[in-house]
Structure formats: C-alpha cells, structure tokens
Amino acid sequence: MDDTTTVQDLKTAVDNFVDDRDWAQFHSPKNLSMALTVEASELMDLFKWKTTEEAQEEMKDQLLEDATDELADIMIYAIAFANRNEIDISIAVKRKIDKNIEKYPAEKFREGF
C-alpha cells in the first residue's frame, strides 16, 4: 500500500483517530515528542542483547511483527506531531534530505568503504 497511500491519507487517518477519542487535548508538542521517544525505545528494546546477526535472522519471525507494530506507533506519533504543529511532512523530509546532501556529500563518505 505504500505505493498507493499518500502522506495526506495517513495524516487524515491519524487525525480522525485522535479526534474520535478527543485526544487532541493531550497532544502538546512536549507530550507527543515524549511519546515518540518512548515508542522508539520500545523498538530498540526488541533488539536488546541481540547480536547484529541474531537480530537480522529473527526479523524473519515474530520479531518482524513486533518491530512492525513499534514502527507503526512511531509513525503514528510522528504524524500526530506534524498534524498538531502544522508541519508538511513531504516538505520537511525533502528539506532535510537536501541539508544532509550538503552535510554528507556521497563522494566523501563513499571513499572509506
């Protein structure tokens, strides 16, 4: 569905979910940023004490489903943050990639590999 679902579709779905529960009252930038961090920590926790090889191998099983759920939570909070603060996600991502292209030129970082 990534190839047919727009960012706006996702923003609307998150907005509707929040509105249906009257949760906007709790969605301050501080609270949303904290929730986002908690969810990112829960994703990291899935990989705690695993080697890189173990994590890659286990991503074929239950760990993949659990990681997918945590990633969805991260995305939902990120979208809610964008909604609450009127951030255009597409513009923000493109702008940041442009900044990173300047900061990390490919030819410089490919040299050592």
| Contact (Cβ atoms closer than 8 angstroms) between residue 73 and residue 42 | yes
For residue 1, tell me if it sits in a domain.
Answer: no
Asked if residue 62 is part of any domain, the answer here is yes
**Amino acid 9: pLDDT:** 98
In-domain check, residue 31: yes
Q: Is residue 42 part of a domain?
A: yes
- Of the CA atoms within 13 Å of residue 107, those in its CB half-sphere come to 1
Q: Can you tell me the mean pLDDT for 79-105?
A: 97
- Per-residue model confidence as pLDDT tens digits over 9-60: 999 999 999 999 999 999 999 999 999 999 999 999 999 999 999 999 999 9
* Location of structure tokens 């080697």: 51
The pLDDT, as a whole number, for residue 111 is 67
Parent domain of 99: 7-110
Overall number of domains in the chain: 1
Task: Show the CA angle centred on residue 43, arms to residues 39 and 47, nearest 5°.
Answer: 155
Instruction: Name the pLDDT band for 7 (thresholds 50, 70, 90).
Output: very high
Q: Does 30 reside within a domain?
A: yes
What is the per-residue pLDDT for 112?
Answer: 59
Q: Report the chain's C-alpha Rg in angstroms.
A: 17
Whether residue 39 contacts residue 73, with contact meaning beta carbons closer than 8 Å, is answered with yes
Residue 24 lies in a domain: yes
The alpha carbon torsion through 35, 16, 27, 95 (nearest 10 deg) reads 70
Q: Is the per-residue pLDDT at 113 higher than 60?
A: no
Determine, yes or no, domain membership for 98.
Answer: yes
19, part of any domain: yes
Cα(84)–Cα(8) distance, integer angstroms? 14
- Read off φ and ψ for residue 4, nearest 5 degrees: -125, -15
Q: What tokens does 45 get?
A: 């926790």
pTM of the predicted model over 0.85: yes
CATH number for the domain including 43?
1.10.287.1080
